[in-house]
Each structure stands twice: as C-alpha cells, then as structure tokens.
Amino acid sequence: MRSYLILTMCGLFLIQYFVQLPWLENIVIVMTLAAFAGSASKANPMARWFGISMMAVGIAVELSKGTGLAGIRQGISMNLPLLTLVILVPLLSLPLKLGGYFEAIDTLLRRLKHQPRKLFAGITAVLFILGPILNLGSIRVVDEILKKHSLPPMMLAKSYLVGFSTTMLWSPYYASVALVLYYLHIPITEYMAYGIGLALLFVVMGNILFAFWAGRHLRHNDHPETAAAAEMEEDAAQDSGMYRKKLARLGLIVIGLMGITFLLEFATHWSMLVLVSLLALAFPLLWAVSTRGWSRLAPMLVSFRDHSVPFMNNEIVLFTSAGLLGIALQGTAFGNGLKTVLNGLAHQSFFLFALSVVAFIVVVTFIGVHPMATVTTLVTQMNAHDLGTTNIVLAMLLMLSWSISSTVSPVNPLNLLASRLSGTSGLEAGLRANGLHLLLVTGLGLLIITWIH
C-alpha cells in the first residue's frame, strides 16, 4: 500500500509541475508528509533520527520566523523534484536487464580476470557507465559476476569505490549532481564538461595507483584457474560473439539517454530533475513497444513496485526533511552566521575556504550524517557572488566533497555496500584500500577548483 502512495505522490508531482494547481499542490504536500511518516518507522536508526530531528527543527524555525504553514509547505516541496528522480530512476535499468546487457558485461570481465590491471580498468569503466542508471545496484551487478572468481578483497574494495565514486561528480541521474545543480540553478549542459572531466581524471588516477599496487601485492597464483581453463573460457567467449556488440550498444544507450536529457533541457527549459524522471518513465515503455516485450517488462514493473520502492525509506526521510531545514535556516541567525564565516574564509583564501568545506562535510559524514543533509544545509546558505566565485565552482566543490565523504565514511551506504561485498571492514575499504587515492584526488581536485575560481 505504501508503494502506491509513494508512486502516486511522484506522479501527481509531475502533473503539478506542468498544470500548477494550488489544490493539487496541497494534495502532493499531504501525500509527501504521509510518505515521510510511513518511511520514518522503517528507515535505519541513523536516518530516522536525523530525518525526524531535521523535520522538527525545520517546522519550529518556520513557525518562529512567522512564515507558518506557507513556509513549511515551501520547505516540504523543495526537494520533491529530487525525491521523485531518486525513486523513479531505477526504472531505467529494466530494459538493460531484459536486453541481455549484463551478460555481455559478464563476458567482458571473465575475459579480463587473469589480467589484474585490465580487469580493474574494466570494473571501474563498467561502474562509471552503469552507476548513473543502476545507482548502488551497479556494484551489486558487478559483484554478482566477480564473486565466483575469488579476487583479492582489497582489489575489490579499490575497484568498487574508485569506479562508483566518480558517478557523484558528473551524472545528472545521481542525487549529488541533481541536488547541487538544482539548488544552484545550473543547466546540466553548462556543468557537464567540468564534472565529467574531473571524473575521468580521477578514474585514470585510480587505475595508475592500482597498477603500482598490483605490481607489489598481486601474484599469478592469486588467480587459481589454470591457463588451459582460461583459454577454454576465452574461446567460448569469442564463440559467443555478440558481447562486443552488446557492450557497444550499451554505451550508445547511455550516451543517447544523456544526449536526450541535454537536448530536452535546452529546448524546453524544464527542470532537469523533471526531465530525468519523465525519461525514467518513458524509456521502459518505449522499449516494450519497440521490442513487443510487454510480457517480460510487466513482472519487472511489479518487482520494482513491490521491492524497490518500499526500500526507499532512508531517501524519503532524509530528502524531505533536509529540504525543509535548508529553507528554514535562510534568514535566521544561524544561517546568517554560517554565511559570514564562509564568506570570510573565501575572501581570506579561497583554497582555505574550499578545504574547510571538504573537511567539514567529510567529518560530519564520517560520524553518520548523510552528505545530502550537510550539502543541502550549506548550499542553501551559499551565494557565489558573495563568496567572490561562480556557481560552477561551488558545484564542483560540493560534489567533490560528497564523493570523498561517501567513500571514506564507514557508515555511508556506498562504503557499507563496498566493504560488505569485498569482505573488508568499512575503515579498510575507505582508508586502507583507498586512502592514498582519496588524498590525491582531494588535493588535485581542490587545486583544479581553485584554479578555475
């Protein structure tokens, strides 16, 4: 029943975006609050505690400011476009699962498994491409392929975190990029060159560092299959033949989805969050029509409704409450004080300001606060003009902070998943396996951002 409530909320929000009816907006707000209440009891304890606290503080601040129900309603609706995107984006993965593209990835990685450096490059490339569409599910897909090959845990921890963390720097389908660009009012076409350039640079750096690490730590007997078995497997892969075409088609699909998003945003000037949500709804339906695959798609849609949507508890609780708190803090003594501190740091030394923002988000995320809550609080109090910089620079800084903090924090969902699947602890996956990489990308990222500034 809760799934129907959440999906109806998303559908009515998309309708309201175009028709702009006050009574419909009120219905959407009520449904959002109902979804929040239903999800709060099922969210994990940390998300529940922070979500309820942010909601309570946000309501109290709005009432004390005198904005009353109008302010609360504005705050509740603030992150609805982002929440709708996060809920609906997994629909993009359904045609990929049904089209046999994951089997092609399986074939590719199996052929590379005796060449650690090439395998690492293959894993990070797959996560780079699939991360925007499958979210954390992309790591599960790759792990399902690799778990039968007994790869070293540290290699898995490195590849999973290096490959996926870059998604947070560039993908318009991922929450970090979507949220920051939404709040800073930056068209995705203006930001994409910066984000994808930074992400590619970090992937290359991760692969170079792994090459040195592999030379010192990996031996041939880390891969126990015999050469004869490997040759038989590779021959079978070559005989199967179609995997290269499938991989090329997968790349074209991802590029096509991105291109359509950019073109529609340029042509319509609609919110990028709304466009991606509409695309997530349209893509599976168009696939079913063009392939006559309704009978295969229908069970996947039912599974999405019954299994994917009900597990969005943390996202619903955090996104709803963080939007309200971020809006509520504007114009308060705390908000003005935070602005004063940030502006003072930026005018004293922009590099010091940038380093302080990264350090603050990393520390707060490390102790258990989702970076979405921290970034929302900061971005709603930042003004690029007052800081003496541009919105593009602020966007790059906040996304860099989100990526680093999610990788290093042992209680962040990304780190938790990567450490569990690789058989390491959260601290091992974040700091031991990727500490040097994180240190280098932080330093290089801050230098690049300061240079652009």
146 and 64, same structural domain? no
Q: How confident is the model at residue 336 (pLDDT cuts 50, 70, 90)?
A: confident
198 and 74, same structural domain? no
Whether residue 356 is contained in a domain is answered as yes
Calculate the average pLDDT of the chain.
Answer: 88
195 and 132, same structural domain? yes
What is the reported pLDDT for 302?
93
Distances (CA, A) of 101 to 25, 82, 91, 163: 40, 28, 15, 19
Q: Are 171 and 131 in contact (CB under 8 A)?
A: yes
Q: Which of 144, 116, 117 is nearest to 130 (CA)?
A: 144
Whether residue 49 is contained in a domain is answered as yes
Whether residue 288 is contained in a domain is answered as no
Checking if the pLDDT of 320 tops 70, the result is yes
Whether residue 412 is contained in a domain is answered as yes
For the beta carbon of residue 356, count every other beta carbon within 10 angstroms: 15
Q: Are 75 and 325 in contact (CB under 8 A)?
A: yes
Distances (CA, A) of 345 to 175, 341, 348, 388: 28, 6, 5, 11
Secondary structure (DSSP) of 310-323: GG-HHHHHHHHHHH
65 and 103, same structural domain? no
Taking the C-alpha atoms of residue 91 and residue 284, their distance in angstroms, rounded to an integer, is 7
Whether residue 328 is contained in a domain is answered as yes
3-state secondary structure of 383: coil
172 and 31, same structural domain? no
* Average confidence (pLDDT) over 7-27: 94
Distances (CA, A) of 289 to 36, 261, 296, 327: 35, 21, 12, 42
Checking if the pLDDT of 303 tops 70, the result is yes
109 and 37, same structural domain? no
Whether residue 291 is contained in a domain is answered as no
Torsion of CA 255, 259, 262, 267, to 10 degrees: -170
132-176: per-residue pLDDT in tens? 888 888 898 889 888 877 888 999 999 999 999 999 999 888 888
What is the reported pLDDT for 429?
92
What is the reported pLDDT for 240?
52
Taking the C-alpha atoms of residue 409 and residue 400, their distance in angstroms, rounded to an integer, is 14
What is the reported pLDDT for 396?
96
237 and 157, same structural domain? yes
Taking the C-alpha atoms of residue 14 and residue 278, their distance in angstroms, rounded to an integer, is 8
Domain limits for position 325: 2-89+311-452
Q: Which of 153, 125, 142 is nearest to 218 (CA)?
A: 153
Q: How confident is the model at residue 228 (pLDDT cuts 50, 70, 90)?
A: very low
257 and 117, same structural domain? yes
Q: How confident is the model at residue 241 (pLDDT cuts 50, 70, 90)?
A: low
Taking the C-alpha atoms of residue 246 and residue 255, their distance in angstroms, rounded to an integer, is 14
Q: Are 172 and 276 in contact (CB under 8 A)?
A: yes
Instruction: Count the alpha carbons within 13 Å of 219 in the hemisphere toward its beta carbon.
Output: 2
Whether residue 282 is contained in a domain is answered as no
131 and 233, same structural domain? yes
Instruction: Count the alpha carbons within 13 Å of 232 in the hemisphere toward its beta carbon.
Output: 5
* Angle CA 91–97–101, to nearest 5: 130
What is the reported pLDDT for 311?
84
Gyration radius (Cα) of the chain, Å: 22
237 and 98, same structural domain? yes
55 residue type, one letter:
M
Q: How confident is the model at residue 219 (pLDDT cuts 50, 70, 90)?
A: low
Distances (CA, A) of 78 to 71, 278, 280, 427: 10, 19, 21, 34
Checking if the pLDDT of 81 tops 80, the result is yes
The residue length of the chain stands at 453
Taking the C-alpha atoms of residue 134 and residue 254, their distance in angstroms, rounded to an integer, is 11
What is the reported pLDDT for 245?
81
Residues whose CB is less than 8 angstroms from the CB of residue 311 and which lie 6 or more positions away in sequence, other chains included: none
Q: Which of 6, 28, 14, 61 is nearest to 317 (CA)?
A: 6
Checking if the pLDDT of 183 tops 60, the result is yes
Q: Which of the residue ranges 63-67, 284-288, 352-356 would you say has the lowest mean pLDDT?
A: 63-67
Looking at the structure of the chain, the number of domains it has is 2
What is the reported pLDDT for 232?
45
73 and 108, same structural domain? no
